[in-house]
Every structure is written in structure tokens, then in C-alpha cells.
């Protein structure tokens, strides 16, 4: 379980995130939605210890993220940002292999290689595994990074806009993979999403943020409410019942 207790992040006197209080239970997929500048990514980065917390604390599986050693946290939680610096002479397989670093410290054994193969196959990168990262399209590279964080085999996986720059087909494919990772491997996945309908179709829970505060948090059905959505995005939003549940129309 991820517990966020009264956290605050101050950028300037007028711009601050928080205080936030939220508990994200184990297993399943939780999406953070909200307008630009609502603090979704900031919150995700603070959970993933990439950004310091100014006040309050966050615990992941009962470990405080700001005081627990980074190498211990690396076996429990992983985070992937939207844009990553990539090394030119690095193949997909070698990148995914870095996911084993918290365990093997760079000295891969046979079991590590098997786990690496498993996640490469899982994300359908088998054919591409010996390509260098700069020989891939943006979407393929994104998948390679997702394979790396899954290969870390942490209980908690945080993804900052995993659908950024992906077309509809790739987005559907990516969400199917994430859904499958949550179902089959029992991972707890938290993502930041921009597309309400993608969030609604694939998530178990949605947390809506606005102006640095949590505006609404609940199941997909609870959040997919015209009033709540209109209020959060300050845009007229209707919902209708579609074949996969509620669909937002804007």
C-alpha cells in the first residue's frame, strides 16, 4: 500500500502542491488524471523518490521513501518518467537487463537472463532485442523502458504518462500490457494519464487532481461523473455508456 500523509511541495509562495492525503491499495491500476499543472507528475515523482518532499511523508509497503535507502527501495518500487536520456550503444536487451541491477549489481546470472527474456517477450520486443535504442521508433523505445521497469520485479510500478507520443494502436497495446502486468503479475501500477477514456477503460481506481489538491478519488464509475469531470477540467464534459463502460464526451 502507498500511503501519502500530508505531503507538500512548494515551488514558489503561490504555487504549491498539497497537502495531499491518499492511500493507494495493493494490486490493480490507479490513474492520476487532471488538468496541466495540477501536480500529478509532481506527486508521482515524490512517491518514486525522484523529487524531495517539503513536508509530510510517503510510505510504500510501510517504508518511508525519504529515509529508506535507495537500493532497498529499488526492489519495492520503480518509476519511469516520460523522457529518458538514452545511451546510443545500448541494445534493448541490455537496457532491460539494467532492470536486474538492484539484485545482481550488473553481474547478470542465468536466472536474471531468464527474467530479462520473460519481460522482453511479454512486451513483444523479442525481434528487436539486439537493436540499439537509437535504431527504434519512439513507441518501441517506450516499450523497452517499460520492459526495464517491469524487469525490476518491484511490487509497485509508477509510470508518468506512458501513452505520451503513442498513437491509438500503440496506446491500446501499452495499456493492455500494463493491465496484464497488474492482473498476471499482481503489480500495483500507478500512472499519470491525460486521456480520460483510456484511464476509465483500463484503471481500477482514478484519482483526480486539481490545483495541487486531490479533487476526487474513487472507482472508475464514481469518478466518471459529468459533474465531477466538468468541475475538474473546467470544461463541459458529458458521459455516455459505451461498450466498455462510461465514455467521456467533450
Partner 1 sequence: METTNNQFSTALHNKRRSAKAFRNKKERTRYWVLLIVLLSIGLLSSLGLLLYNNPVPVDSPSFIPVTKRRIAAVIAMAIAVICHSLSTVAFQSVTNNKIITPSLLGFESLYGAIQTSTIYFFGATALVNFSGPEAFGIQVTLMVIMSLILYGWLLSGKYGNLQLMLLVGIIIGSGLGSVSTFMRRVLAPSEFDILQARLFGSVNNADPEYFPIVIPLVIIVAVLLFLFSRKLNVLSLGRDVASTLGTSHRASIIYTLILVAILMSISTALIGPLTFFGFLVATLTYQAAPTYDHRFLFPMSLAIGFAVLTTAYFVMTHVVSAQGVVSVIIELVGGIIFLIVILRKRKL
Determine the longest span between alpha carbons in the chain, in angstroms: 55
Least distance between partner 1 and beta carbon 135 (Å): 11
Among candidate residues 211, 207, 231, the one with its CA nearest the CA of residue 16: 211
161 is a contact residue toward partner 1 (CB under 8 A): no
CB atoms within 10 A of CB 184: 9
**The one segment of 171-179, 180-188, 196-204, 241-249 that binds partner 1 by CB under 8 A:** 180-188
End-to-end CA distance of the chain: 34
| Contact between residue 48 and residue 56 where contact means Cβ atoms under 8 Å apart | no
Using CB under 8 A, which of the segments 16-24, 114-122, 201-209, 232-240 binds partner 1? 114-122
Interface with partner 1 includes 162 (CB under 8 A)?
no
Is 126 one of the binding residues for partner 1 (CB under 8 A)?
Answer: yes
Residue 185 DSSP label: S
Q: Does 97 bind partner 1 (CB under 8 A)?
A: yes
Q: Which of 1, 15, 87, 168 binds partner 1 (CB under 8 A)?
A: 87
Question: How many residues of this chain bind partner 1 (CB under 8 A)?
Answer: 56
Which C-beta is closer to partner 1: that of 122 or that of 233?
122
Q: Are 142 and 167 in contact (CB under 8 A)?
A: no
User: Could you say which of 79, 206, 216, 237 contacts partner 1 (CB under 8 A)?
Assistant: 79
Any contact of residue 225 with partner 1 (CB under 8 A)?
no
Please report how many Cα atoms fall inside a 13 Å half-sphere around the Cα of residue 113, on the Cβ side: 4
- By residue count, the chain amounts to 250
Question: Least distance to partner 1 from the beta carbon of 36, Å?
Answer: 20
Sheet-wide strand order for 16-24: 16-24, 2-10, 55-60, 63-64
- Among 31, 43, 154, 171, contact with partner 1 (rule: CB under 8 A): 154
CA–CA distance, 168 with 181 (Å, rounded to integer):
20
Taking the C-alpha atoms of residue 21 and residue 36, their distance in angstroms, rounded to an integer, is: 20
For partner 1, what does the binding mask look like between residues 181 and 210, x meaning CB under 8 A?
---xxx------------------------
Q: Could you list the residues that contact partner 1 (CB under 8 A)?
A: 48-50, 52, 70-75, 78-81, 84-91, 93-99, 101-102, 105-108, 112-114, 116-118, 121-122, 126, 129-130, 134, 148-149, 152-155, 184-186
Amino acid at each position: 500500500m502507498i500511503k501519502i500523509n500530508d505531503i507538500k511541495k512548494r515551488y514558489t509562495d503561490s504555487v504549491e502542491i498539497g497537502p495531499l492525503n491518499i492511500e493507494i491499495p495493493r494490486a490493480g491500476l490507479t490513474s492520476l488524471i487532471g488538468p496541466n499543472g495540477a501536480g500529478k507528475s509532481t506527486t508521482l515523482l515524490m512517491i518514486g523518490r525522484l523529487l524531495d518532499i517539503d513536508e509530510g511523508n510517503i510510505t510504500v509497503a510501510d517504508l518511508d521513501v525519504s529515509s529508506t535507502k535507495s537500493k532497498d527501495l529499488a526492489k519495492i518500487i520503480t518509476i519511469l518518467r516520460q523522457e529518458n536520456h538514452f545511451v546510443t550503444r545500448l541494445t534493448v536487451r541490455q537496457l532491460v537487463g539494467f532492470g536486474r541491477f538492484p539484485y545482481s549489481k550488473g553481474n547478470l546470472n542465468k536466472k536474471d537472463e531468464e527474467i530479462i527474456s520473460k519481460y522482453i517477450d511479454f512486451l513483444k520486443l523479442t525481434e528487436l532485442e539486439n537493436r540499439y535504442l537509437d535504431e527504434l521508433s519512439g513507441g518501441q523505445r517506450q516499450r523497452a523502458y517499460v520492459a526495464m521497469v517491469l524487469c525490476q520485479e518491484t511490487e509497485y510500478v509508477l509510470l508518468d504518462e506512458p501513452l505520451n507520443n503513442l498513437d491509438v494502436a500503440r496506446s491500446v497495446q501499452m495499456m493492455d500490457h500494463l493491465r496484464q502486468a497488474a492482473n498476471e503479475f499482481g503489480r500495483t501500477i500507478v500512472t499519470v494519464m491525460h486521456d480520460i477514456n483510456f484511464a476509465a477503460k483500463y484503471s481500477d481506481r482514478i484519482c483526480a487532481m486539481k490545483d495541487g489538491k486531490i479533487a476526487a478519488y474513487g472507482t472508475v464509475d464514481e469518478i466518471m461523473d459529468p459533474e465531477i469531470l466538468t468541475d475538474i477540467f473546467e470544461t463541459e464534459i458529458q458521459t455516455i455508456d459505451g461498450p466498455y463502460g462510461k465514455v467521456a464526451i467533450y
